Chains A and B, each alone.
Chain A
């Protein structure tokens, strides 16, 4: 790895993973001198279950827990402004994003609004300078977390906020929250983590710190996703996936946004299709193109995917192709296991033509728009990927 160009790396969050990690949260908050956290959770039964677990964890901690458990996909800056007023009224001194996904996005931007004392949070802009230290933000993702929870990014409406300051100080990965309800939910979450970790792992400007996170994330997904899909209640596999998601968020925050991420994000924002579903659809095409054009360090994927023995046995010149083959087989096995639940094309996903046009319009504005639109066309009807 050539380090001569220099690099910057940061992972602002601590990881607490495993048994009773949530129970330890009051101690962690006390370590930040915080005693009045606001919990931001998703609407619905998933969110309510997570809240029950968290409330019990706080038990007799003596802390005052404020709660908002009605975050939906439609959450916007108006909600943030409402919650900001709640925070000021309750003198909240920490924010806990419970369950991940949109709840984490809201919690990050809310933390920004409260810490900056923004009079009207609806006026917040991604380019708003952050010159103060924000309140401690904790994320406690649940099954279905896509990895962005631990990242420096928050997506709200069509705005993307990005800053190191937005990242959490702590990720609590508790097996009580890790178990999922559906196989496709586990698959989508694991594939989103995989997609972002893969893109971070192959980029040209590498550093060993980022690679440590992307390596571990890829390995965890490869080793545990099939078991989690077969049994979403599998305690060990689901916790490993939460770990993978958290690690991928760190790797992603320290890399340039890749094509898989961009595609996954736009379909999620506009159509609500889980990012991992789109990434799985597009991954063989994009990696196939990289392989054909000799772009990016695809060979680096082989060791975390295949393990040390296979890596050592495979000649260096064959590892890129072997990694792509292995990933394609891995996806195929998941698709076989999940059937129609993991669609292989936009048509199978039920995306109507006019919505596809909407997607193409948004992607067209990206600097790589032409290529990304081409990928959308290739996955529209499930044509097989080009051979490298």
Chain B
């Protein structure tokens, strides 16, 4: 894949309209068929049969199965296809041994397709299994890196159970070899699931705290996709739609977990955001979020929620007009018109902070607003202040900063982390302008 960076501030054109971006070069791909609805699961048998499959291996984890979601899936599928083989032991961190074991299970039972029901680790595992069984291989590791796959794999249907990661529409699988302490990334358009089934029943039981942080994960995908360097007209269109839906629907879903319509809207919005970011990449927010997650073991979505306003503030001197375009889909016409054009980007930041405040209230304080508020299960601070330099250093090794509009170094990372730890707006005068 080759890419071109989309330029900086755009000139306002005829009649005050900012022309739609057309980069010198861009690529956009999401070949995943989207099937969404309150009874989308019921379409799975036909979708499998259309692809000549009738015996899927269901890949999931204990949490999903324990929440009764596999029962819902099984009931919706009925007996038109043989979907009785369920592997529910995918660990929270994908594991090479599990991938290879499930591939054996698939072969021993003459399965012909995969149905992944779960979050990121389940999707990664199912994609890994699909490589092994489709390539008739013994070991997944022979296919790591880009370009190793050049033909279609077995049919894979992805049923996400959180509205956040977007992994149902991404072309990447990350699988860890825990014995060798290696984290392997597999990238190919052939890893895109054939179908993403977005059904409101899959998230109805998700508690407000998880709803909030996974929803903000999706928000960070959409917002970073919109202002980072590899944006393009189609990623923009997906991101704008996602931002508006998440801003309106996430508080509703967190307050009323059984609200089917807001659950469906969030599943759709997270999918839109997943498509946007996987085609335009992300920046500083994910860069620092990955590092915070790996150093302190805190949930990814929570890091995204806290860091997102800071990513916007850090890059605002380069992307204010682009960020300002998000105000209309978020807040609607009244707020948009009442906000002077030069203040709209700042207003977007304040609305995202406001959303975090609202989610903090809805979750009884579990949705942390700053890094110092994050607590582990024993109630101890997960991100002590003196660990920030280590996070800032770890972030230098993460590739997400490549697509960030403004350059970052150790001091920049620390500047942002300290502000995010305290929960104070970033002092933008201290940002080094490149």
Decide if A24 is an interface residue (CB 8 Å cutoff). yes
How many whole Å from A171's CB to the nearest CB in chain B?
A: 10
Closest-CB distance, B19 to chain A (whole angstroms): 5
B25: Cβ under 8 A from any A Cβ: yes
Residue contact A3 to B264, C-beta cutoff 8 Å:
yes
B16 touches A311 (CB 8 A): no
Q: Does B431 contact A (CB under 8 A)?
A: no
How many residues on chain A are close to B (CB under 8 Å)?
52
The answer on a CB contact under 8 Å between B150 and A15 is: no
The answer for the CA separation of A14 and B31 in the assembled complex, in Å, is: 7
Stretch at the interface among A140-148, A277-285, A301-309, A371-379: A301-309
* B237 cross-chain contacts in A, Cβ below 8 A: 211-213, 215-216
Contacts of B143-184 to chain A: CB distance below 8 A: 147, 150-152
A312 to B56, CA, bound (A): 49
| CB-CB contacts below 8 Å: A1-28 with B | 3-21, 24
Of the stretches A37-45, A235-243, A331-339, A344-352, the one at the interface is A235-243
A212 touches B234 (CB 8 A): yes
Query: Number of residues in B with C-beta < 8 Å to the partner?
Result: 56
**Residues of chain B lying within 8 A (CB to CB) of residue A207:** 34, 36, 268
Partner of B20, one of A12, A164, A212, A216: A216
Report if A247 contacts B (CB, 8 A).
yes
**Is B233 close to A, CB under 8 A?**
yes
| A219 and B337 contact, Cβ closer than 8 Å, known pairs A10-B33, A14-B189, A16-B27 | no
CB-defined contacts of B37 to chain A, threshold 8 Å = 3-7
Say yes or no: is B2 at the interface (Cβ < 8 Å to chain A): yes
Give CA–CA (A16, B39) in the complex, Å.
35
- Selected from A18, A213, A311, the residue in CB contact (under 8 A) with B26 is A18
**A208–B241 contact, CB under 8 A?**
yes
Report Cα–Cα, A31/B189, bound state, in Å. Answer: 9
Restricting to B263-282, which residues have a CB under 8 Å from any CB of A? 264-265, 268-269, 272
CB-CB < 8 A to A312: which residues of B? 328, 333, 336-337
Instruction: Determine the chain B residues whose CB is within 8 A of the CB of A307 once the complex forms.
Output: 15-18
- In the complex with contacts A8-B34, A15-B27, A19-B24, A3-B268 CB distance below 8 A: yes
A contact residues around B24 at 8 Å (CB)? 18-19
Distance to closest chain A CB from B227 (angstroms)? 16
State the CA gap A357–B18 with chains docked (Å): 46
- Contact of A219 with B20 at beta-carbon distance under 8 Å, contacts A14-B31, A31-B150, A32-B150 already known: yes
A33 CB within 8 Å of chain B: yes
Q: Is the CB of B38 closer than 8 A to any CB of chain A?
A: yes
Residues 33-80 (chain B) with a chain A CB within 8 angstroms: 33-40, 43, 52
CA distance A263 to B161 in the complex (A): 44
Report if A310 contacts B (CB, 8 A). Answer: yes
User: In the docked arrangement, what's the CA distance between A307 and B261, Å?
Assistant: 29
Say how far B340's CB is from chain A's closest CB, in angstroms: 12
Q: Given the complex, which residues of A lie within 8 Å of B268, measured CB to CB?
A: 3, 207-208
Interface residue A209 (Cβ < 8 Å from any Cβ of B): yes
Whether B34 pairs with A10 at a CB distance below 8 angstroms is yes
A131 on the interface (CB 8 Å rule)?
yes
A311-B333 in contact given A220-B20, A223-B20 (Cβ < 8 Å): yes
> Quick check: is B245 within 8 A (CB to CB) of the other chain?
yes
Question: Cα distance A311–B268 when bound, in Å?
Answer: 25
CB <8 Å contact, B28 and A14: yes
Is A125 on the interface with B (CB-CB < 8 A)? no
Nearest chain A CB to B29 CB, angstrom units:
4
Task: Verify if A266 is at the interface (C-beta below 8 Å from B).
Answer: no
One digit per residue, 1 when the CB lies within 8 angstroms of any chain A CB and 0 when it does not, for chain B 1-28 equals 0101000000001011111101111111
Taken together as a complex, chains A and B put the C-alpha atoms of A9 and B32 apart, in Å, by: 9
Within 8 A of A (CB), among B215-257: 232-234, 236-238, 241-242, 245
**Cβ of A11 and Cβ of B30 under 8 Å apart?**
yes
Minimum CB–CB distance from A380 to chain B (whole Å) comes to 35
In the complex where A17-B25, A220-B20, A308-B336 touch, is A6 in contact with B34 (Cβ < 8 A)?
no
**3 residue pairs, one from A and one from B, having the closest CB atoms:** A6-B37, A307-B17, A18-B25
Q: A-side interface residues toward B, CB under 8 Å?
A: 3-21, 24, 30-33, 131, 133, 164, 169, 207-209, 211-213, 215-216, 219-220, 223, 236, 239-240, 243, 247, 306-313
B contact set with A: CB distance below 8 Å: 2, 4, 13, 15-20, 22-40, 43, 52, 147, 150-152, 189, 232-234, 236-238, 241-242, 245, 260-261, 264-265, 268-269, 272, 325, 328, 333, 336-337
Selected A-B contacts with CB under 8 Å, 22 pairs: A3-B265, A4-B37, A4-B260, A5-B37, A7-B37, A8-B35, A10-B31, A10-B34, A11-B31, A14-B31, A15-B234, A17-B232, A18-B26, A207-B268, A211-B241, A212-B238, A216-B20, A223-B17, A240-B20, A306-B17, A308-B18, A313-B337
